[in-house]
Structure 1
Amino acid sequence: MNAFSAAADGSVRPVRDRRPWALALLSLLQFLIAVDVTVVNVALPSIGAQFRSDVADLSWVVTGYTLVGGGLLLLGGRLTDLLGRRRMFLLGAALFGLASLAAGLAPDLPTLVAARLAQGAGEALASPAAMSLIALLFPGPEERAKALGVWGAISAAGLVVGVVLSGAIVQLLHWRWIFGVNVPIVALVLVLTPGLVRRDGSGARERRRLDPAGAALLTCGPLALAYGLLRHSAAAAVAGLVLLGVFVLVESRTRHPLVPLSFFAHRVRAVANAATVPLSAALSATFFLLTLYLQDVLGFTPLQAGLAYLPFCAALMLAISQVSRLIGAIGVRRTSVLGLVLTAAGLAWLARLPDHGGLWADVLPGMLGVAGGMGIGLVALQNAALADVTEEDAGTASGVQRCVDQLGGSLGLAVLVGAALGGGAVRVAEFRTAFAWAAAALVATAAAVALTARDTRQRG
């Protein structure tokens, strides 16, 4: 029996006995996608040494992946609704796998960057498809919260595992294997998916045109803005803002937008997506800045720096495992606020990092606070961002949520890291400033969510 069965009206119905396997498969690819967000960080010096590239050029190996992925996620969500969830999941997985192979075999840095851009495009197709499949596979509020908690836990674990895995692979094997390990796992996903996830019914989808202009603007705008922030180029930053403004204008006037602006009239979704931006930015900046602090200030080796994130991972998993219970007890709004406040508290602790500190007293308490807050806050906001989705807009809602997560993390990282590394050198005082800004932004976000969001409780 398949995970999905087709009803007489052409819609897709879940079959319970295979759903855990389908969830595991969908989460496996998302794990790889999350791993590839962070796996390159520790490997960058080795890549730069082989290709004789400077830090400025190498930065696009990291930011190109997340910005292209985030910029195209809305298009991916739209394609998911129009062309079918399983079809787009398989297409995105195949593109991600082929791009991983190309990255592992890249003869020079431009080829590697191009492969990373293609990986981001694969994510943009596969991730909203997987998220919308989960939303429809688990239609009940409580079971959806649990399923998204599993999906979010595996995705978040991938971010941490990427750091640990990168150090181990670079030290024991070669940096090319950080991409090569993706290939056999993606092949397994491609082989097993048709047996676990049945194709969508064709009768429920309305054929409408796409919005390539909107997708191009939403990709190029953040790329230009991030370049301007990281390189302190006012012209590039202004160009990015102009492109984003044109995107809003185009979306308000086109007959077939990537996402109708009326979509944001749903208050719970709008607040959840807006609150995701500073939370994702804080997570991205924490990974980047703490990795630099551990290696360049505390003198950790790449492998030691990766292993230092294991307590973070454990705290994150524990927090995520409790989200569905918290939502059932105190509602989505209060759970979201709790996550935001805990994250802000962890960042406030990191804002006092000494110039010559230690892992246990100076880094770990703040790291655990951020981990617990992220685990609670991101999953609660993710759950709220899918409130009241239907067969017609599940992919769009998933694409919007993933888009704000990716772009918020990338652009927030550019803002905070651009400030922290203004002179190109590692200065702990500027790290403290970046963490303090991130904490203040989350306190303001928590207050806004508490005052504006409608509260709900999950019922089984």
Structure 2
Amino acid sequence: MTAVDKDLPRGADGAEGTGGAAGADPRRWLALAVLAAMQFMLIMDITVVNVALPDIQSGLDFSPGGLAWVVNAYVLVAGGFLLLGGRLADMFGRRRIFLAGVLVFGLASAACGAATVSGTLVASRFVQGLGEALAGPAALGLIPVLFPDRKERMKALGIWGGLSAVAGSIGAVVGGMVTDLVNWRWIFFINVPIAVVALVLVPRVMPESRMARDSRRLDTVGAVTATGGLVAVVYGLLQAADHSWGSGRVLLPLLGGVALLLLMVAWEARTPDPMIPLRFFTNRTRVTTNAVSVAIFAAFFTYMFLFTLYVQQVHDYSPLRTGLAYIPLTLTALAGAGTSTVLMPRIGVKAVLTVAFSGAAVALFVAAAGFAPDASFASGFLPGLVLFGFFNGLAYPALVNGALHEVTGQDSGLASGVQTAMQQTGAALGLATLVPFAFRYVDDHVADGTLPRVAQSDGYALAFRIGAVVLAVAAVAVVVVLEKVSGEMRDPIAEAAAAADGAEAEPRP
């Protein structure tokens, strides 16, 4: 073994990166803080741009169609490369791939902030997305390694999920304040010092972990078909925001992406050393959790996008005031995440997700009822912000726990990549379906003589109600399909290692 290989004990199946509770790294909580800070930045970067888009458009002379790619470029690459990034982390070292992703993300952030023409900003956003695809799955995949004790792991994943929930909403707050008080460029520049801190601290507080040496051959066909398929599907969904579902610009990438993903499944079932082992998808809890993640992220990003447009276009909010309007959602998301972490070991992941999805569906109905041209903040916007923030915060820690349920040390990067890819796919799906539905409603009713502010209020509210129905269906799926498991996940490798050492493994929940 190399020196890197020695950093972590080896599991019974030869995979590195696992160990019993007694072998927990004393630096683990500091390492979690660094990982969580980077994850917070990665998630925040998806929403921080939205409030600044008008200033970016005027500053770099973007066309309306080109401006959309400031958001789409990031989502496209991040969503398409996450599975590959997760598997590369498993194979070549999660710490190593994480550091590579942080470096790419930091350099791309500096390039975004310094951009003087629109093409440079869009190209840099593509590179930023690649940085997230490398760093995000590797960071989440390190948590099962750092926290071999299941109780500690549940707490760590709860913190991780909670910060992810808060980051999405606080991005709007930060974006509004920085854009109004300083300059839109600083929504990118503020990423750089965080990346530098991570690059300095991670090698000092975090061990390396990866697969056994004989499992490090990259499955090229699986990598190309999985990545190409995801990129094509996400691109097709993004095109659906501006074109009809029957147009070639939507259908061709969607169908081509699906074909590539089917080819990937056929190949992975035959090859002896697959990049994405199909056995990973036989766990019902993981599959269900990842599927419903698409629904709640579609609803969340739709809400953030349309609420921003609503308060700016209908109520003439400035970027700063728009950002401040998200503070109630941010605070209640934090409260929901804390509640989720407390409830999971008591009532289980399934119960928490059922309450979270049901509550989020009700919250969207409440938010829709508050949308009116003459609505006030306290009686119109606030109830929806508070409820939707709380139940989204309640959902995220449970989703992360479910996505890593019974995952082995050998596949933790893959599991993290799948979960993060579902989040990005959900965001793209919401922007491709619910948002265009709202826009078409507005256009049709304005053409019929409805006042624009009335049409916008009604159209955005209708999109929320459709999103609420989707979340209600997801809640039913959780009740019917999800296994009843506690927040403390079983780790087969850790159990095998403990048994080999003569320790009594804890029973499966």
Asked if TM exceeds 0.5, the reply is yes
Partner of 2:470: 441
Counterpart of 2:360 (choices 329, 332, 343) is: 343
Identity of aligned residues (%): 37
Once the two structures are TM-superposed, the CA of residue 265 in structure 1 deviates from its matched residue by 1.4
Q: Does the 8 Å contact 2:82/2:134 carry over to 1?
A: yes
CA contact (8 A) 2:165 2:396 kept: no
Deviations 1:228-252 (A, max 9, x none): 3333362122113202321222112
Relative to structure 1, the CA distance from residue 365 to residue 70 in structure 2 (aligned partners, 3 Å threshold; closer, same or farther) is same
Deviates more, 1:217-226 or 1:397-406: 217-226
1:382 aligns with 400
Cα distance between partner residues in 2 of 1:110 and 1:217: 25
The match for 2:374 is 356
* 1:430 corresponding residue in structure 2: 459
**Residues 16-415 of structure 1 aligned to structure 2 (within 5 Å):** 16-200=25-209, 203=212, 206-210=215-219, 211-232=223-244, 234-254=247-267, 255=271, 258-352=275-369, 353-415=371-433
Deviation sequence 1:400-433 (CA, Å, 0-9, x none) = 0110011111222221111111256761111011
Secondary structure, in 3 states, of the residue corresponding to 1:112? helix
**Would the aligned equivalents of 1:346 and 1:366 in 2 still touch at CA under 8 Å?**
yes
Is 1:230–1:415's contact at 8 Å kept on the other side of the alignment? no
Report if the CA contact (8 A) 2:240-2:433 is conserved.
no
Distance of 1:7 and 1:349 partners within structure 2: 51
- Further displaced range: 394-403 or 176-185: 176-185
The separation in 1 between residues aligned to 2:237 and 2:316, in whole angstroms, is: 33
Aligned match of 2:492: none
Deviation at 1:201? 6.0
* Matches of 1:272 and 1:52, distance apart in 2: 42
SS in 2 for 1:199: coil
Q: Residue type of the partner of 2:172?
A: V
The CA distance in 1 between the partners of 2:91 and 2:211, in whole Å, is 10
Does the 8 A contact of 1:81 with 1:205 survive in 2? no
Deviating more after overlay: 144-153 vs 119-128: 144-153
Shift of 1:325: 2.2
Alpha-carbon distance, 1:10 to partner: 7.6
Q: Which residue type is aligned with residue 425 of structure 2? A: L
Q: Distance in 2 between matches of 1:245 and 1:296?
A: 37
**Is the deviation greater in 358-367 or in 279-288?**
358-367
State the Cα distance separating 1:204 from its structure 2 match.
5.3
What SS does the aligned partner of 2:36 have?
helix
Mapped partners of 1:31, 1:414: distance in 2: 25
Which residue pairs with 1:419 in the alignment?
A: 437
For residue 52 of structure 1, report the CA deviation from its aligned partner. Answer: 1.8
Correspondence for 1:11 among 12, 16, 20: 16
CA contact (8 A) 1:221 1:239 kept: no
- 1:201–1:438 Cα change, 3 Å: closer
Q: Which secondary structure state, in structure 1, belongs to the residue aligned with residue 110 of structure 2?
A: helix
User: Per-residue displacement from partner, 1:111-152 (whole Å, max 9, x unpaired)?
Assistant: 101101110110000000000101221233332221111112
Distance 2:64 2:378 in 1: 30
Within 1, Cα distance between the matches of 2:475 and 2:15?
Answer: 42
Give the aligned length: 458
Q: What is the distance in 1 between the residues matched to 2:359 and 2:121?
A: 38
Q: CA RMSD in A?
A: 2.0
- The structure number with the bigger radius of gyration is 2
Gaps of 5+ in 1: none
Structure 2 residue ranges without an equivalent (≥5): 444-451, 489-505
CA distance in 2, matches of 1:429, 1:27: 38
Counterpart residue type for residue 263 of structure 2: V
SS in structure 2 at match of 1:42: helix
Bigger shift: residues 349-358 or 367-376: 349-358
